[in-house]
Amino acid sequence: MPYTPSRRLVLGGVGAAALTSALAPAARAADALTRPDLAVTGRETDLGAGWRFALANPDGVTDPDGRFADAANPGYDDSGWAVVDVPHDWSIELPPTGTGTDSGSGFFRGGLGWYRRTFTLPPSLAGRRVSVEFDGVYSDAHVYLDGELLGNHPYAYTGFAFDLTGRLHTDGRTPNVLAVRAVNPLPSSRWYSGSGIYRRVRLVVTEPVHVARHGTFVTTPDIAAGRGTVRVATDVANDSAAPVTAEVRTTVTDPAGRVAAKGVTTVTVAAGQTATAITTQSVGSPQLWSVEKPRLYRVTTEVVAGRVLDTTTADFGFRYTEFHPDHGFSLNGVPAKLRGVNLHATQGPLGAVIDYAALERQLRLMLAMGVNALRTAHNPPAPELVAVCERLGILLMVEAFDCWRTGKVEFDYHRDFDAWSARDIAEMVHAAKNSPAVVLWSIGNEVPDASMAGGPAIAAGLIATVRGIDPTRPVVMGSDRYRSVPAPGSPQDLILKQLDGLGVNYNTAQSIDGLHARYPDKFFFESESSSETSTRGAYQDPDLLNTGENHTPGKRATSSYDNNLASWTFSGEYSLKKDRDRKFCQGQFLWAGQDYLGEPTPYDVFPVKTSFFGAVDSAGLPKDAFHLFRSQWTTAPMVHLTPMDWTTHRPGEPVAVWVYSTVDTVELVLNGRSLGVKKFARKTTVDGRPYLETSEPAGDDKNAPSGSYTSPNGGTGKLHLTWTVPFEPGTLTAIATSGGREVARDRLVTAGPPRAVTLSAEPRGEGAMAFVTASVVDAHGIVVPGAEPVLRFAVRGPGRIAGVDNGRQELAQGYQQPTIPAFHGQAVAVVAATGGRGPITVTASAPGLSPGTITVPGTNLGQRNGPGARAVERPDSPAFAAADASYSGAPDTLPAAMLDGDLATGWSNFYVKQATATLPAVSRPRAQDWVSLAWPAARRLSAITANFVLDATHGRPDGVDVACRTARGWEPVRNLKVTWGSGSNDPTTLEFDPATTTEVRITMTARTFLRISALTARE
């Protein structure tokens, strides 16, 4: 008799009917499969361990030879499949490749994957309701039980559940086989997404009468009036064959676990139906949840009919918010700005795998920068992220989609939007509706439909769905389609009128003022701000507000002087000032809090795998931007020196030193010698809020009459102090004083040769991961900025290396292996506990250096087959570069073009940086650059010929120097004689005394751009 699904077959949406076909057994019979007993304890049982996984096709979503056609069949032989624990991301385990991928995915592959979980269940489960719940699968999950399709769920970022009641074997002997098919067709996202069951899975066991999934909604309606009212709406499901009258009891406990209030009501539920029971109780003198003191209460709900049939818990907090169109945001009646960041749902070398400790580490980094808010760009978050935020005191803007009906890449969510968006946005709201951290619901990000005729109707449907579930929070969206005031009746205008507020992405000060004036009843904030790009430890052209990019292979990086901007972006300082000066602006969300895999603007070439937008790099190591925002978002005394390197400079070289500080007075000291005291001016906004800023014009806004961003109070200054310091080795110190007393200092010390590796570890949260930072140091323990030896990590005890990262955006190797080169002297290893007692000892070594060792505690939360368990060492083997250059201005003027025999091509340092909304285009000749030739083995040479191009853009160098690489470093050649070519492309000959070397370098000074079409060497 065919199985007839009940109305509760799918508890989160079903896409396909169940299949009933019986598949023939594969080579190995079902009774030969492992049959692990599943220890079902309580209402929820974790299904993280013991999965089998097969990557059927990493380069497509088909099964070309049919090997996996029967993979859902319980008799299918999966003994050759890998054993994995979930959460699991198969993409991060693969080596990056420039073939068949793109920069959006970080050059990682996706494809087709299968998971299987075999388990037995005891007879005690007979007659009970059993469902399986997934927090997220990337993507288009098809879920099977014993060969029958339960249904599918396309969206990767929302949870879903299937009812297994009546389908399971509960005799304690017969195995149940849960199978999941997942696909990641490329391109399916604009950034790295990961692939597979990357969030948690659980089995839920209840009585037929129980609290429905997401069936508790806690609100606190009278907090602003000083009353601690708790309203609990409980959806009670009755899956029995008869009506039931049940008592619903709710107990509120305070942050210390003490009972604060109780409520009880009675509800009658018809057979096969769900009814809502409401209890209202009062808590005296409630402790408010805030970003400073995130106090959590808990509601425990019991459904009782003669006995307790079900018990659930839900955490919540007492707090109230206001988003006022003129006065800005307030929490619990206290005015505040949203000091937010955007974060994609990845964790560096862990890929998309969700781990509580990794999330906590990431968000504690954000807290240290002064962050109080997070936008879940651009999708619903994992439950663990919500839990971390509500425990750390971080406000959440929870976002639904990156597109609606009109897509951005070929295989993104637009294909499923019409059929699934209502269910998915409802799931988003239900999953996080009780969290006090959640203050905003967003219906989308930069959706093209916002400027299309159908957009207003789509928005109306999404808004209605959200408000139908939760009328207590504002509904907004983030958009780049409001940089000018919309025309009346336009799609943008009609959508904005439906929203409570709007997040704007990359608006000028003038454009956000225009929106505020046109829509005085709406509130505005910056859902994406700045997007300046930087590389930790890289610095270029501090006197320019925008810089060109270096396209030389191996040197693809961007400047950390807050001065590398794409055409749509702004400096961090501009974004901070714009938000600061507008009381009506609720705040901002910096793009981005941390570098993430994929979307490597401004480069689009392998192996540049990660973004440059983060205030911290992908390894979690802070960049200078972190300290810029920290200086504006925190109040404790701090001072920071930029550049973070007082080693790799030439003697006498003028170094631009920037100082960020929360203190108005800073003295700079070099080797005990004062270089002077500088001060920020103390200023106030027009509504009376104090801030620090220089009186020196910033020159950062071509739209303002002054040429600088101008505050409403007339201020045009900068958020950093500046010195120009001729380099000399030693110690550079910034000393911040208040009232004549030192309150903070930062120090840079010139490093000597590398001697050792030292390790430090961050405290681990509740998950399985610990983060260990390796630093290459000199004899005095100073980090050596130029040191990039290959570090090898090893573990003793109940742990393993789950991944490694150095924060370098241009890196060909993968992350889940035990070795990685240091980058600017540092790298990070993620150490996963495998469960069990005893400490975990981590060692990092490198050739010629003393190794470093550290011990971190083990934890029973560990996974034996989690991230890194199947790591294969794939060392990065950089291709030999016969030609190199300090700087290449464009992707088609790389050093290799000097060797191709074509005088129409060549290396050049010429660049044009596009204008931005506030800055003009930039194209300024570089004062000095070098090119070089190298050979696998040393050779003898006495002359170099360079063909310089002379035209309206390029000229001849003012001077050249030649040096050869030796065991002692670079040494100048002797008796250099230069014979200049007379015209464009005529050879210029550089002759010198014969030298034997593996590499020769020509350093050129110039007042014009340079281009060399051919470069050769001879004896």
Q: Which of 384, 446, 549, 810 is catalytic?
A: 446
**C-alpha span between 361 and 363 (Å, rounded):** 6
- Helix boundaries (H) for 669-709: none
> Residue 229: beta bridge partners?
282
Alpha carbon distances (Å) from 262 to 255, 265, 283, 284, 289 = 15, 11, 9, 12, 20
DSSP assigned state of 397: E
Asked if 446 is an active-site residue, the reply is yes
Alpha carbon distances (Å) from 240 to 166, 210, 272 = 13, 10, 6
* Side chain identity, residue 551: H
**C-alpha span between 34 and 285 (Å, rounded):** 56
Angle of helix 491-498 versus helix 455-469 axis, rounded to 10: 10
Three-class DSSP labels, 772-803: EEEEEECCCCCECCCCCCEEEEEEECCEEEEE
DSSP annotation string for 439-483: EEEEEEES-GGGGSTTHHHHHHHHHHHHHHH-TTS-EEEEESS-S
Tell which residue, 878, 796, 869, 791, has the closest CA to residue 827. 791
DSSP annotation string for 42-100: SSEEE--S-EEEEEEETT-SS-TT-TTTTTTSTT---TTSEEE-SS--HHHHSPP-SSS
Q: What six digits make up the tokens of 542?
A: 């501090």
**C-alpha span between 604 and 596 (Å, rounded):** 15
Alpha carbon distances (Å) from 693 to 450, 560, 631, 659, 677 = 38, 20, 11, 12, 15
Three-state DSSP state, 488: coil
Alpha carbon distances (Å) from 261 to 257, 282, 283, 295 = 12, 6, 6, 16
Backbone angles phi, psi at 882, to 5 degrees: -70, -25
Tell which residue, 808, 803, 742, 749, has the closest CA to residue 780. 749
* Side chain identity, residue 779: A
Q: Which of 399, 427, 528, 810 is catalytic?
A: 528
Cis before 87 (ω within 30): yes
* Side chain identity, residue 739: G
Which pairs count as long-range contacts for 851-858, CB under 8 Å and 24+ apart, including other chains?
A: 851/756, 851/757, 852/756, 852/757, 852/758, 852/759, 852/774, 853/759, 854/759, 854/760, 854/761, 854/772, 856/761, 856/764, 856/770, 856/772, 856/799, 856/831, 857/764, 858/797, 858/798, 858/799, 858/833
Angle of helix 356-368 versus helix 383-392 axis, rounded to 10: 40
> Residue 162: beta bridge partners?
10, 132
Q: Max CA-CA distance within the chain?
A: 103
Asked if 360 is an active-site residue, the reply is no
Place of tokens 């497509």: 60
**C-alpha span between 1014 and 1016 (Å, rounded):** 7
> Please, is 332 exposed, middle or buried when counting C-beta atoms within 10 Å of its C-beta (0-12, 13-18, 19+)?
middle
**Structural element, H or E, at residue 629:** helix 624-633
**C-alpha span between 19 and 615 (Å, rounded):** 49
* Side chain identity, residue 754: P
Active site (catalytic) residues? 446, 528
